[in-house]
Amino acid sequence: MKIIIVGCGKVGAALAEQLDKEGHEITVIDTKASAIQNVSNTLDVLGIVGNGASYSTQLEAGIEDADLLIAVTDSDELNLLCCLIAKKAGNCQTIARVRNPQYNSELDFIKKELGMSMIINPELETAKDIIRLTRLPSASKIDVFAKGKVELLKIQIPDGSVLDNMQIMNIPARLHCNVLVCAVERADKVFIPSGSFVLQAKDKISFVATPKNALDFFNKIGISTSTVKNVMIVGGGNIAVYLTERFIEMGIKVKIIEQLFERCEQLSERFPGALIINANASDNNVLIEEGIKDMDAFISLTNLDEENILLSLYARKNSKAKVFTKITRLTYDEIVSNMDLGIIVKPKLITADRIIQHARAMQNPKGSNVETLYKIVDGKAEALEFHVSSNSKLLDIPLYKLKLKKNLLICCIYRNNKIIIPNGQVFLKEGDSVVIVTTNTGLDDLDDILD
C-alpha cells in the first residue's frame, strides 16, 4: 500500500520502520528537516519537509493515490485537520492520534463526521494494558482476543515449579488444565514449541487460555493469583487519570504522588476517593514514608525515563509490589533490557502496534482479515487473530492435513461463543476467529499460514 505518515517523532519513526519492513511504499512529512533526514537516512522512504495539513504538501506527497494517511504530530487538532484534508483531497483511509482527554467523549462523533478509519489515544491504550496486568499480578503480559473471551498470557516459570522438565503435551493430562503453550523464551532464543518441547525453570512462556482457565492454571502451578488491592502511582498525567478512574471503579485504593501543586489540586477535585500527595517521589524516603512496602502495585509514570527507572529499581528493592515502568525513549531498549524494572510500558510502541494492526487488515479487504495483532516476545513474534472468510483455503480440512509454515502455531479457535484449543482433528469453519502465533511477521491473510 501507499502510506503517508505526518509527523516524524518517535511514533512516526517507529511506524515508518515497521511499515517499511512490511513492504509498503512510505512517504513521511514533517516541518523539521532534521526529523525527515533521520528517517530517510535509515529507511527506504520518501521524505518531505512541510506542513502535513497543507493541501499542496499532501499533493506533493501523492495523497491522490494514497491508500492511508496517518497523522501523529504533537497536535491533536493538526492531526484531525490533516485527516480532513486527506479525505477531501484523496479519499483515502485516515488515522489520527488524539491525546487530549477532553476529546474522549466526542471521539465517536469526530470519527464519524470526519469519515476517519481510526482515532487512537496512546495514554488510554497504555492504561488499558496496565489495568489488564493488575488483574493477574504474576503475569508480565496479557493480550486479549475474541473480544476478551481469549487471553494470551506471559509468565516466567519459577524454580521448583511443577512445569520444570515437563513436556508441553503432558500439561493437560497432568495438571487437568485447558491451556496451550505457544511461545517459549529461553535466554536469547524464541521457540514456537511442539508438544514434545520440554519446559525448564526460568523459561518465559506465553500461553493461550480463557480467563477462567488461566486462573486455574496459575493455581495448579503454584503461582499467586491474589488481586491488587492498593496501588501507588508516581506522576499525575493522563495515564494516571485513566488508571485512577478504572481502579476506583474496581474498588482498588489509589495513592498518587505528583510534584506540581496545581496538578495535585486538579486531581483531588476529580478523584476525592484517591489520596493525592504533593511531593517529589525521588526525594529521600518519600516512597517509604508513603507506604511503598505495603503496596500491591507501583506504577512510575513521570515524564523522565531516567526518573522512572530509578524509582522502579527502588520499588523492586523495597517492596513486593508489581512494578510498572513507563519508558518513552525507544533507544533505551538495550540499556533497560537487563534491569529489574518489572513490566516496561511503552506508549509509543503500543500506539504503533495498534495502527499497524489496522494497516495490516486494510491490505486484505475481501479475505480472512486480521482482527487483532500483538507483537510478543520483545517483537520477535506476532500473535494474530483472523476472521475466517468463506473463500479461505483452510475451510473444513483437519489441521493435521495442513502444511503450515515453520515456526507457526494455531493456538485457539473461537466458534459460536465457545473456545476450542485445537488438536489435529479440528478444522476451521466460516465465521470462526482463529488465533495464530508465529515468528513469520507480516501475515495479513489466514491463507498466508500455509507453506
- Domain of 167, CATH number, reads 3.30.70.1450
Give the model's pLDDT for residue 187.
84
Which of 159, 182, 215 is the last residue in one of the domains?
A: 215
User: How many independent structural domains does the chain possess?
Assistant: 4
Which of 71, 92, 120 is the last residue in one of the domains?
A: 120
Q: How many residues belong to the chain?
A: 451
Give the model's pLDDT for residue 330.
67
Instruction: Verify that 242 and 166 share a domain, yes or no.
Output: no
Q: Is residue 53 part of a domain?
A: yes
Instruction: Verify that 268 and 329 share a domain, yes or no.
Output: yes
Instruction: Verify that 329 and 313 share a domain, yes or no.
Output: yes
Give the model's pLDDT for residue 372.
85
**For each of the chain's 451 residues, which pLDDT tens digit applies?**
899 999 999 889 989 988 898 889 999 999 999 999 999 998 999 999 999 999 999 999 999 999 999 999 999 999 999 999 999 998 899 999 998 888 888 888 988 888 898 999 999 999 999 998 888 878 888 999 888 889 999 999 988 999 999 999 999 999 998 899 999 999 888 999 989 999 999 999 999 999 899 999 998 998 877 789 999 999 999 999 999 999 999 999 999 999 999 999 999 999 999 999 999 999 978 999 999 999 999 999 999 999 999 999 999 999 999 999 999 886 666 677 778 888 889 888 888 888 888 887 777 666 667 888 888 887 789 999 998 988 899 999 999 999 999 999 999 999 988 889 888 899 999 999 999 999 988 788 899 999 8
The parent domain of residue 43 ranges over: 2-120
Give the model's pLDDT for residue 357.
82
Q: Is residue 153 part of a domain?
A: yes
**How, if at all, do strands 189-191 and 180-186 pair?**
antiparallel
Q: Is residue 224 part of a domain?
A: no
Instruction: Verify that 116 and 143 share a domain, yes or no.
Output: no
Q: Contact 217/209 with Cβ under 8 angstroms?
A: yes
Q: Is residue 220 part of a domain?
A: no
Q: Is residue 225 part of a domain?
A: no
Instruction: Verify that 16 and 75 share a domain, yes or no.
Output: yes
Give the model's pLDDT for residue 300.
97
Instruction: Verify that 40 and 133 share a domain, yes or no.
Output: no
Instruction: Verify that 327 and 375 share a domain, yes or no.
Output: no
CA 219, 224, 228, 233 torsion: positive or negative? negative
Half-sphere exposure in the Cβ direction for 207 (13 Å, CA): 27
Q: Is residue 223 part of a domain?
A: no
How much is the pTM?
0.85
Q: What is the CATH number of the domain that holds 296?
A: 3.40.50.720
Match 477531501 to its residue by C-alpha cell. 88
